[in-house]
Amino acid sequence: MAKTTTTFLDELIGAARGCLALIVGDRQSSAYFDFRQTGLVGSFIALVVALAVQAFGPQLLGIPTPSGVAGGVVILGALVIGVQFGIAWIVLRQLGRSDGFIPFVVVQNWATMFQAVLAVALIGIFGQPIAIEPGGEMAQLTSGSIPFIVLGIAALVISVNIARLILTLKPLHVALFVSAQLTTALVIQPILGMAL
């Protein structure tokens, strides 16, 4: 059953434990998240923090970024997440599992926040994962690439386990749900990125 919390800090700690439980595949991972209305609001606060960390975190670490990039990151991130939520709602509705939408949103928001914080920390520690040559003709992997690959694998595991353990979907439905989410992220993000 969903955990009842009293403060945002309690919710943050519970969500961190829940995300770790999702990574290891703990069947009780849903117990760490608050699926009530207050938990939903708290998860959107976490999402706002995630967008802010993604947009301004590199600058705070002293990594030079072009002017206006932070605003574009916030807009692009919000649009991609909004489209992902819309696709999730449609897929869950088609699967007859509309009841899973709020738990999905809560867990996804918290996972996004922790992934954003970890990504910016990895950039601060290891540097950018991809180096682009002056002129932009060639990109190459850097020492920061391996930690980002690990973070990407962890994000995929969390996505699968959200569908499997939080939404309790059947295996074929897990594959459909995760495929829809990945397709949305991998297709919509570049399209919206070019438009911005």
103-124 residue pLDDT tens: 999 999 999 999 999 999 988 8
| Tally of domains in the chain | 1
In a domain, 57, yes or no: yes
Residue 62 has a pLDDT of: 81
Q: Which residue has the higher pLDDT, 193 or 69?
A: 69
Pick the range with the lowest mean pLDDT from 7-11, 28-32, 41-45, 155-159: 7-11
In a domain, 110, yes or no: yes
- Asked if 95 and 169 touch (Cβ cutoff 8 Å), the reply is yes
Pick the range with the lowest mean pLDDT from 126-130, 157-161, 179-183: 126-130
In a domain, 107, yes or no: yes
In a domain, 140, yes or no: yes
pLDDT digits (tens, 9 = 90+) for 62-119: 877 778 888 888 998 899 899 999 999 999 999 999 999 999 999 999 999 999 999 9
In a domain, 16, yes or no: yes
Q: 14: exposed, middle or buried (C-beta count within 10 Å: 0-12, 13-18, 19+)?
A: buried
In a domain, 1, yes or no: no
In a domain, 3, yes or no: no
pLDDT over 90, % of the chain: 59
Domain that holds residue 100: 8-195
